[in-house]
Structure formats: C-alpha cells, structure tokens
Structure 1
Amino acid sequence: MLELLQKLRKNKKYTALYKRFSTILIFTFLSLNLCGACSDRIEQGKDKTPVTYYLDSNNGNDESDGLSEDNAWKSLDRVMKTELNPGDEIQIKRGSEFSDVLVINNSGTAENPILLTSYGNKNLPSPAFTNPVFKPQSNQYGNCIRLKGSFIIVENMYFHHTVANLPQNAGSFLTMWELGAIYIDKNAQNCIVRNNELYDCGVGIKSYGPYAKIENNYIHDCNRVLKKWGWGPIAIWLGGDNQEVSYNRIINYSAVNPNINWGPDGYGEGADGGAIEIDDARYAKSNISIHHNYSRDCQGFIEVTWADIDQNPLYLDFSIHHNVSDDYQQFIALWQGANFSIENNTIIRRKVNENEWGVFNITQTNSRNRVRNNIIITENNVVVFNVGRQKSATPNTIIENNLYWSYAEELDIGFEGPGDSPLFSDPMFLNYDNATSRKDFLLKINSPAIGLGAL
C-alpha cells in the first residue's frame, strides 16, 4: 500500500489520484483509531463483577469498606453514597434497626438484579425499618425503602409503625400518593417486593412501577386513620398498570371511627381502609393481576376508584382470581373498569361494621366485567350484587357458574344476579366457623363445588 502511494506521488500524471487515495487512507487510519478508542470505552463500561455489601446497624462502621461481615457499614446513608451495579447485593444483618429512608437510584438488569436481603442468625428478628416523618416540603413521606431504579428485589425485611394519623391539611392527592413503607417509583421497572412483613404501616406497599411484582408478603394490623377524617389504612396501593399482586396475606387493615366521612350519600361513613386499592385517575391502567392472596378483617378486599385529580380513567382487563377474602364492606368496589375477569375466588361476607357495600359493588354502565366460578358466602343480610348502591347503574356484568350460600338468613342476591348456571349449596369448607388461614377454606372431599366450575 505504501509502495503504491510512493509511485503515485512521483508520477505527476497521477498526482490527483495520489491526493485522493492518500486522503482516503488517512481517513481510514483515523477511523480505525477512533473505533479503537470506542472499543476501550465500551470495555471500561462493561458490567462490573457483582459486589456484596454488608450493613449492620449495631456493630457496623461507615469508615469500613462494607465488603465483609466483619467490615460492615452502619448506616443507610453509606449505602446511598455507593453506586450500585447490576448483580450487586446489600446484605443487612438480622437484628439491625433503621428509622430513615433508603433510596435506591441505581438499576440492575433482568439477568442481574440488585438485591436487598438479610443475613445472620435466623433466631434474630429481620432487619427492621420505620419512618414516622411526614414533611412533604423536604420530600419526606414516611417511606422506609424507595425504589427509583429498575430490576431491584427487596426481600426478608420487617417494616413497622410508618406514617398514619395525618392531619386534614396534610396535602393533596399528589402528596398522599407518595406514602408507602415500600415505595416503587413511576420509572422503576420490573422490581420485586417479596417475603417481607409489614406491621401497622399506614400504607404498606405503594407501587407505580411497570411490571412490579408484590408477592408473598405478610401485611397486618393497622387500624389507624390515614388522613383525618377521610381515609383509612391501605395495605397494597397501586397507581400504575402492569402490576402483579400474588400470594400475600393481608390481615386487619381497617379504621372504624364515626368521624370518617369522605363521600356523599352515605358512602365512606364511619369506616375506611382495605387490603388493596387502585387509583390515580391521571393514568390509564391495564394488565393488573391480583391472585392467590388471602385477606381477613380488612375494610374491603379491593377498591378501584374513578375520581381524584382526574375522572373516569380507562381501566381495562384486570384479572382477579383465586383469592380468599373474609373481610368487611365489600369483596370489590368497582367504581371504574371494564372487561375485568373476577374468577375462582372464595368470598366470605359475614362481617359487617359501620360501612356496608355488599359483595360486588359495581357502578359503571355496560362495563361487561365477568364474574364466574366464584364461591360466595354471606351472613348478616349482606347483598351479593349491590350495583354500586345506585339503582340506575347498568353494568351488564357477565355472571355465570357461581356458587351462592348463606349460613344465617335467606340469601339476598341483589339486582343483577344470580346469572347463568348458578349453584345454591353449602360448599362444605374444612373450618368455616373458626377460620384464620387460607387452608381453613379448602373444600371437603364431598363438596358439591368440586369440579363444577366452567372452563
């Protein structure tokens, strides 16, 4: 190549050709060098080898490197000063306690998520988090862990006594929607919250994050008013679509107080709260799956709202199946939403208090939600299909193959039911009278409900 260039340069006949060819050659060399530099930068930006950091609030030291149990850090602040990479783990020693917020801004990947978990003596309590501070002006919303990055897993932690009992002037919907002991931000995708315990948290888990999974958590015992005198406590609160809530136990989330009054015409009087709530009408929602959860003594299993900052959002194609609910107020209050599938649930409505909405409190017009293959048990004159307590509502619910039974008085089906192919029979639970777990609602081998659901 260089010899050819020399010949071209010496021969005047080919001077123009030489200039053109040498320019091309120089540009090629420069391009190769630049690509080499790019290659170096790509190599430097490759995923680093995952690192495990250790945190011990009792015996840790923030001056240590955090890379072993003997050199654990002490504070959440030290974690937040560290850039986390895909595959990194934050191992928190059992018996540790924290009373501030841990914000995770970095992201993992699908293959290498960032993991927050516990380590240490199994006889010691799980790492404990609380945060009673609610100061919106300084971005404090009582969160314990706030996820802003994607592909993060939070597991094996204990959260307790977070914010509730806020004053009436605590702020707007926008402010209240920032609550949550564990909070998944709007841009945090594919996060998983699993195997945690949450006790007496005004809002347990709040998720906006697309493709979040909230699974196998134990959330229990909050009876405090969330905002005086309007809202009750909420165990799991969803503000975005593409969410999955499964295999959770939610026990005793209900506030009963005569001062509670958030709605007209007798709605929201005297009691509020519940296991699962879906709201924030600014965002359309679809692909929410709620399944295999067990809920007891909550102020309703699910409420799907329709008006807050905005009204009448487009909520479509939710799947609510294989849940067991033994709650107050309603199984589902569906103020907004169409083409929902509500199937294969075991619904017990024998408990009544200051606020009563029936089993299915469905308010839309021609929403065509499907209620199929459910076992529905009532006592205390609870109405099955309450149609939003508005006789003018015509939701045209598709109702078929449900089993209905009342263990006390005559069954009150209500306005829409019982639908096609109903079965009126005692389902024969293993332990209905003293049920305290999902297993108590398993069917005896001679139950008439076995094998009769439609495919």
Structure 2
Amino acid sequence: MALRSFGSRLATAATAAVLVLTGMTVSAGPALAAGTTYYLDADAGNDAAAGTSPTSAWRSLSKVNASSFQPGDSIRFQGGDVWHGGLTIKSSGTAAAPLTIGAYGTGRPLIAGDTTVDATVLLDNVHDVQMTDLEVTNSTDLSVSKSTTYRGIFAIAKDLGDVPGIVIKNNYVHHVDGKGGPVIGKGGIAVGVRGNSVPTWYSGLRIESNEVAQINAYGISTFTTWCASCEIYPAETGIPTTEVSSSRKAFTGSLFLNNYVHDVTAGGITPQYVDDALVEGNTVDKAGSQLKVFAGNNAGIWWQGTNRITVQYNVVRRQGYGSFNAPDPVDGMAFDADMGSTNSVVQYNYADSNSGGFFMCLISANNITLRYNVSRRDFYRPFSIWSGCWNLRGYNNTVWGTADTVTRHRSDGTTFQQGIEAFVRDEAASGNALYNNIFYNPGRGTYRFGSDQSMNYSHNLYWDNSGTPLKPTNDPAAITADPQLTNPGQDLPEGKIDRTTLLQTLANYAPTTGSPAGAAGVSAATAPKSDGVANRVPHGRPDLGAVQHPVTNSASTTLGTSAGTIANLTDGDPTTSWATGNNPALPGSASVEWSEARTIDALHLGVAFGQGQGPTLVDVQTKSGGVWTTRVSGRSLAWSQNSSSVEWLEIGLPDAVPADGIRLVIRASNLTWGHTAINELTAVGGKVAASDVGDYTGTSAQNAVDGVPGTSWASSGATLGKGLQIDPGAPQTVSSITLSAAFGQGQGPTTVRVMALNNGVWTQVVNATNLTWSSNTASVESRTVNLPTPATGTTFYLIVDQANLTWGHYALNEVTLN
C-alpha cells in the first residue's frame, strides 16, 4: 500500500521523469466490452491483466489513458492508493448509461499530477461522464508563485455541440500550484469550451459536494469562447481573442451544489456564461486569500455573462484575507453579479467577515434581485454598485455591519488597518433601489459617497447604537431605532456550514415581539413565497430584514369548489387555481383571514382565461375586530385575454387600513365553463419607485407612489431618455398610467414612453406620447397615458424623452398604474 502523508505524494526531481511516463497519454487501444467495471490497484495491479476484478486489476494511469471505454463502463481506483501523473478520459457515455469513474475499497484514491501535466484529471471532449470520490492534487510547492498555473480536474470541449451529463461529485481537490492570484479557468475544478466553428455548450453540468482547497488560482470556474466577443482574459486563460466567437451559446442548467471551497487565491465559485444555473448550499471560506502576488482578490461567488442564475443558501466568509490583498479592492465581496449578467436572484445567503463587503454589481449587469440575505461584519463597502449595474432590487436583507478594521497590504510589504469607506456605493443613477432592509452601521459609513449618484432608498431601518444613526436623505419612510433582533452577530463554527446550521444562524436575525421592523415594509412585486427559514412572506406590509415573523392565513368561500382548492388563492403560486362550484349562485365570496392584522391598500387578482371565467363585478371588504366593512363597492373588472397567461388586476382601497381579513364579493362573472376561477388573491401594502436620473435635493422617487399628491419627486438634472421605475406590490396588468404634476408648464414631462418588465424581459408598451400641461401653479394636474394593449409586469418604466425644464429638472407628484 502506498504511503498516505501528503509530503510523500510530491514527486522528487529524481523520479519526475518516471512519473511523467506513467501518466502520459498514448494512442487509444481497442474498444472494450460495454457495461464493464475496470479496477486499478497501484501496488498489486498488472496492466497485462483483464482489469475486470480487484484480483485482476490494472496498475497504471497509462493503461486507462490508452483504453477506449463504452457507455455504462466504470473505472474504479483502489481506495488509499496513489497514482502520479495525469488521467485523461476520451470516451463518453450516454444519458442512460454514463461512463463512471470512482473508487472501490476503503478511502479515496489519490491522483497526484505533480505539475507534470496541465490538469491532473482531464475530461477531453466527452459527455455523460460521472467522476466521484477521488482525491486530486497538482503541486510540488504551493508556497511559491509559479509562472504556470495548473488545474486539478478539467473538462474541456471544442466544436462538439451539446455536451450533456458531466458530473463531478464528492471529490477532494487540493494543493494545485499556480501564479497565486486570479487566473480564470485554472485551479481546482474548471470546465471550459474552446473553438469557434461549432457552437458548443455543457448542458446539465453538475459540480456537487466537492472539497476544493489550497489552490493557487480559482476554486471552481467555467469559461467559454462562445460568449459574443466577450472578455476572455487571454493573459489568464491563454485563449487568443481571435478564437472568441461573435455568437453566444451559454451552458444550460448547470448545478453547483454543496461544495466546500476554501483557501484559494482567486474566486471561490465562478460560473461564467451558464444560463439557468443554480448555485446552492456551498461554503466558500478564505477565497481570494493567501495571494502569492500583489493583486485584487475577486469575490467569493461571482458570475459573468449569465442569465437567470439563482444563488441561494450559500455561506461566504473571510474573502480576501492573507498576504498581498490590495489596499483599495474593487473586489473582496461575498457576491458579485458581474458584467453581462441578467435576471440574477441572490437569496437566503449568509456573508461573514468579507474584506471588501457583501455585494457588488457592475458593467451591464441588470435586473438583479437581492433578497432575504444576511451580511454580518462585512468590511469596507457592504454594497458596491458600480456604473453599468441597472435595475437592482435589494430588499429584505439584514446587513449587520461593523466598526472593526481589516488589515490591508501594500506592495512594499507594509500593512495598515482599513475601516469602512461607505455603507453603500452607487456610482451612477441607474434605477437601483434598496428597501425593506435593516442596516446596522456602527462604523457610520455613509449612504452616499462623494460624487456618487444617489441610491433609491425606501422603508429601511437604520441603527448604530449612537442614538443618532446616519440615514440617507432620500428615504421618506426611514426608521431609526434598535431593530430588536433575536440574537444577531454571532460567530459561525469553523468548516463547512450545513443547511441546519445556516438556518439556525439566519433565524438569529428574526425580529422579536415589539420590534420596530415588524410590518414596517412595503410589498415587493417579486417577493418569494417565504424567507430563508420557511416563514411565509405575508400579505400586506412585511417585516423589514431577512427574516419574517410567522403569520398564517386561511381561505374560505361561500361558492363551493369544482376544481383546485380554496387554499390555492394564497399559496403564492399563480400556476395553481381555485374554481367555484358549477353554476354558482351569485353574489358569493372568497375570503382570506390572517392570524394578525396586516396593513393593506390594494387587492391584486390573478386570473387565467379571464374572459371565460374571471369575475366582472365585485366588492371588497376588510375585517377588523370581527366586523366586515365594505371598502370598494361595485367595481367592474375587464379581462383582456382568454389564455393560460395569468392577468393581474388591481383593486385599490380608498386608504391603507389595518385588517385581519379581506373578502372578495363576486356579484357577476364570466361563466363560459359554468364557474368562476381565480389563481391568486394577494393583498398588498404599498409600491416602490426608483429613479435612474437621481433625486433633486429634498425629494425622493418614493414620493411619486406614496398616494399623497402634496409630495413630489424631481430629477436631479435635465437628463432625458430616463425617468422613473414603478414596482407595484404584486404583478399587475396595466391599461393606463396617470401622471400628476404641479407647475406642469415649468417642470412637467412632455413626451414619454413606457416599458414593462415581465418574467425578466423588458418590452416597450407605450410609444412616444406627447403631454400638455395647462398651468404653472401649485395646483396638481393629471394626465393619463393609455396603453394600446394591457401589459403585465413587475416593474413599469416611465421614460421621459422631453420635458419642460424651466428650473433644470422635471418633476412628478404621483404616478398611478391603472
């Protein structure tokens, strides 16, 4: 049996030549029988043997490298044994019969590349291959910077088309040599695509439950040349820009699950050009750390050129610690939605003690949802929102800051202590908004730094124990009070953080009874069904911060049921529905009651096939103190379609009211199929507005949706072609938009367009429309812009192309979605 201490695994100079030969790739031999298991034993094996049992095992990597395998075959290495050199797989499996590579016996087999090969394990232009339970290294001296950066496990495809079924699971990849800085596409586990002749992409890539540690480059990363002339980082990847395709073909459906990445000198997990990916349950600790060269230190988990990625239930901690971390890091954050990424969802994560901050967004990343996360003791800049990041919505996060400093290193080897620069950096006005958050800011970092354009703030809580906490001037609903959370700020245990520990840690940030954060928020149109600890996001105004206190609801009806269940009305899933009994006797009602009073100001009805089965005449009642009171009487509802797409109509209440129940009284309905049906019944509290032209001093974008005509928003200057984004409290189908303004002849918009964001896609729903204002007084006038066709969205963007600019800005008192 070979020795297992890591020191004995490093090749000496005297044996290096032999080790290269044992791992070299030679020409492929004849195909072997399909569905066969082949065994390798580094001590007792014999390459002349059949290899099909432990007693007739092969011995060398060369034997495997020279063999062709069939779908359904397995290659098994003796646990506890050591092989030196490289393993190259050039045979594929199928979806039904993958080629599998793994271990037998006790312990992990070790394959040590000893820097004799670029990648210790190479999956070369293959598909449907599963690799599990191996230990992989590629090092001779991790303590120094080397001119070449190596890889542990590397899957590469070129001009192959779809590459399905690659699984890299439960491996231990460690001690991989390199430059000791950020070298993309190199490091522990890398998956890449090259070439520009045949569009090539990995589908269903699964990188799961691996430990990746002590890497002088990236932990886990992907790259592709099919990235629409993207930045390929040729100095790092070694790929010339001439090889980069002008077309885009991203990976699809990749999974990065439950990995433990630590002590790497670059990014921990870096998916690039991986659409519809899921990054879940990973722990990244001390990434961008122990640099061997003076450089930036990336982010713990960051993605680039990626559409519709979900990043959830991850822990990222201590990013950017160790030698040579730059004194003014652009990176060093836990999470980074990087250039060209769209429709990212970042939720239920925990960030702790990261040297550069919590979250970064930059360079054409857009439509980012950052919600229900906790940041604890993240340094320097908790939020770094750089130019080009557009339409960020950061809501219901708890950012538990610090007054501590972090050690920074200068290029001359000296160090200094760096405190917080700013709590929020927002370099350019780009329609970004932070609302419903709890910001504990003992370092008293500013919310608007220097010449930065102002972030849009609303309904946040600000606290720092001073009694006079800092707050931004443009949050009209700011709360400055101790949030009274359960047990915030506690240290995590060392090692990989499992789901149970993560949920317990998140629960420490729940509001206690009587907290000023309770029910103090505003409804979010894109809110999930629940927070990270499975408490339902309630109807009406939610709690501030990452954890909701439990509120239950129950639904009932007087109209019977012919399909679905009445509970479907409030399950947060618009694909489910409830239908009344056939031939219902109207009027009748559907009611929702809550375990405590909720503050609500509107009801949103979601209905599919509205022209065939949607209610057409309704009342709305609210319940308080056991008494039902009619708030809206005889409201007509006009449905614009008769398809499976859910249409959302808003029924506004005259005023915001506290209520412990809401009732929809259906007086008339479309009954094409003999029943009325509703997919969702959602009571909401408030809306959110975001400006992408800044706010004139003393005004706030939120004033345009507060329902108070006497308050107003004004642009910070005369920039045209931008304007206001409005988020209703739930999805809404809009037929018209009413603009209200005082001094319209001096500051009213005169030409506007409207776009709607629905399912991550922006669509222009109103072409350029001219408006004329009659007065130039404090009296508020209203103008209505009609949509040619009703449009559904979670954000509506009012673009001001022309305006009266007497005072160098344009202004609106109220924007109403009808």
Quickly name the TM-score band, shorter chain normalised.
0.5 to 0.7
Establish whether residue 195 from structure 1 lines up as the match of residue 258 from structure 2.
yes
| 1:372 matched residue in structure 2 | 435
Task: Give the drift of 1:77.
Answer: 5.0
1:273-352 pair list within 5 angstroms: 273-279=332-338, 281=339, 284-299=340-355, 300-305=357-362, 313-326=363-376, 327-336=378-387, 337-350=389-402, 351-352=404-405
Q: Secondary structure at the match of 1:200?
A: strand
Q: Which letter does structure 1 place at the counterpart of 2:303?
A: L
Aligned residues: 361
Deviations 1:20-66 (A, max 9, x none): xxxxxxxxxxxxxxxxxxxxxxxxxxxxxx97989989888555776
1:263-282 pair list within 5 angstroms: 267-268=328-329, 273-279=332-338, 281=339
Task: Give the drift of 1:330.
Answer: 2.0
Deviations 1:115-137 (A, max 9, x none): 3323xxxxxxx63344223499x
Q: Secondary structure at the match of 1:368?
A: coil
Establish whether residue 361 from structure 1 lines up as the match of residue 419 from structure 2.
no
TM-score by length of 2: 0.39
Q: Secondary structure at the match of 1:340?
A: strand
In 1, distance between residues paired with 2:205 and 2:185? 22
Q: Which letter does structure 1 place at the counterpart of 2:520?
A: L
In 2, distance between residues paired with 1:54 and 1:196? 28
Task: Give the drift of 1:329.
Answer: 1.3
| 2:310 matched residue in structure 1 | 244
| 1:175 matched residue in structure 2 | 235
Q: Secondary structure at the match of 1:175?
A: helix
| 1:82 matched residue in structure 2 | 91
1:303–1:135: structure 2 CA closer, same or farther, 3 Å change rule?
Answer: closer
| 1:309 matched residue in structure 2 | none
In 1, distance between residues paired with 2:484 and 2:191? 44
1:382–1:77: structure 2 CA closer, same or farther, 3 Å change rule?
Answer: same
| Contact residue 462 and residue 470 of structure 2 kept, 8 A | no
Establish whether residue 424 from structure 1 lines up as the match of residue 424 from structure 2.
no
1:302–1:92: structure 2 CA closer, same or farther, 3 Å change rule?
Answer: farther
Looking at secondary structure, tell me which structure has more helix per residue: 1
In 1, distance between residues paired with 2:514 and 2:320? 35
Task: Give the drift of 1:333.
Answer: 0.3
Q: Which letter does structure 2 place at the counterpart of 1:441?
A: Y
In 1, distance between residues paired with 2:286 and 2:180? 24
1:173–1:147: structure 2 CA closer, same or farther, 3 Å change rule?
Answer: closer
1:156–1:56: structure 2 CA closer, same or farther, 3 Å change rule?
Answer: farther
Q: CA RMSD in A?
A: 4.0
| Contact residue 98 and residue 129 of structure 1 kept, 8 A | yes
Could you tell me which of 115, 120, 135 is aligned with 1:97?
135
1:316–1:378: structure 2 CA closer, same or farther, 3 Å change rule?
Answer: same
Q: Secondary structure at the match of 2:508?
A: helix
In 1, distance between residues paired with 2:366 and 2:397? 19
Task: Give the drift of 1:254.
Answer: 2.3
| Contact residue 150 and residue 187 of structure 1 kept, 8 A | no
In 2, distance between residues paired with 1:421 and 1:159? 45
Q: Secondary structure at the match of 2:268?
A: strand
In 2, distance between residues paired with 1:444 and 1:89? 53
| 1:26 matched residue in structure 2 | none
Task: Give the drift of 1:402.
Answer: 1.0
Task: Give the drift of 1:207.
Answer: 1.3
1:428–1:152: structure 2 CA closer, same or farther, 3 Å change rule?
Answer: same
| 2:521 matched residue in structure 1 | 453
| Contact residue 469 and residue 480 of structure 2 kept, 8 A | no
| Contact residue 75 and residue 102 of structure 2 kept, 8 A | no
Structure 2 spans left out of the alignment, 5+ residues: 1-33, 44-57, 109-133, 139-151, 194-201, 219-231, 239-247, 407-417, 493-504, 524-818
Task: Give the drift of 1:400.
Answer: 1.2
| Contact residue 488 and residue 509 of structure 2 kept, 8 A | yes
Task: Give the drift of 1:419.
Answer: 0.7
Q: Secondary structure at the match of 2:235?
A: helix
In 2, distance between residues paired with 1:70 and 1:259? 40
1:221–1:451: structure 2 CA closer, same or farther, 3 Å change rule?
Answer: same
Task: Give the drift of 1:435.
Answer: 4.4
In 2, distance between residues paired with 1:234 and 1:207? 12
In 2, distance between residues paired with 1:52 and 1:115? 19
In 2, distance between residues paired with 1:200 and 1:57? 31
Deviations 1:226-253 (A, max 9, x none): 4743312531121212122211101111
Establish whether residue 115 from structure 1 lines up as the match of residue 167 from structure 2.
yes
In 2, distance between residues paired with 1:235 and 1:145? 16
| Contact residue 117 and residue 154 of structure 1 kept, 8 A | yes
| Contact residue 264 and residue 290 of structure 2 kept, 8 A | no
In 2, distance between residues paired with 1:55 and 1:193? 29
Structure 1 spans left out of the alignment, 5+ residues: 1-49, 119-125, 166-171, 179-184, 262-266, 306-312
1:151-166 pair list within 5 angstroms: 151-163=204-216
In 2, distance between residues paired with 1:224 and 1:84? 38
Looking at secondary structure, tell me which structure has more strand per residue: 2
| Contact residue 104 and residue 147 of structure 1 kept, 8 A | yes
| Contact residue 436 and residue 521 of structure 2 kept, 8 A | yes
Q: Which letter does structure 2 place at the counterpart of 1:85?
A: T
1:446–1:440: structure 2 CA closer, same or farther, 3 Å change rule?
Answer: same
In 2, distance between residues paired with 1:89 and 1:407? 59
1:127–1:346: structure 2 CA closer, same or farther, 3 Å change rule?
Answer: same
In 1, distance between residues paired with 2:521 and 2:38? 51
Deviations 1:374-430 (A, max 9, x none): 1111103222x13xx333x334x33211111112463122xx445132222222222
TM-score by length of 1: 0.67
In 2, distance between residues paired with 1:403 and 1:55? 61
| Contact residue 420 and residue 443 of structure 2 kept, 8 A | no
1:370–1:233: structure 2 CA closer, same or farther, 3 Å change rule?
Answer: closer
Higher relative contact order (CA 8 A, sep 6+): 1
1:15-34 pair list within 5 angstroms: none
Deviates more, 1:70-79 or 1:127-136: 70-79
| 1:439 matched residue in structure 2 | 507
Q: Which letter does structure 2 place at the counterpart of 1:131?
A: V
Deviates more, 1:402-411 or 1:78-87: 78-87
In 1, distance between residues paired with 2:178 and 2:258? 25
| Contact residue 342 and residue 365 of structure 2 kept, 8 A | yes
| Contact residue 76 and residue 102 of structure 2 kept, 8 A | no
| Contact residue 108 and residue 152 of structure 1 kept, 8 A | no
Among the aligned pairs, what percent are the same residue? 17
In 2, distance between residues paired with 1:57 and 1:154? 27
Could you tell me which of 245, 269, 274 is aligned with 1:210?
274
Establish whether residue 232 from structure 1 lines up as the match of residue 297 from structure 2.
yes
Q: Secondary structure at the match of 2:390?
A: coil
Task: Give the drift of 1:441.
Answer: 1.9
Deviations 1:250-290 (A, max 9, x none): 111123768834xxxxx54xx962212344x5xx3321221
In 2, distance between residues paired with 1:98 and 1:56? 16
Q: Secondary structure at the match of 2:334?
A: strand
Q: Secondary structure at the match of 1:145?
A: strand
Deviations 1:339-387 (A, max 9, x none): 11111111111143315232211110x312111111111103222x13x
In 1, distance between residues paired with 2:481 and 2:184? 54
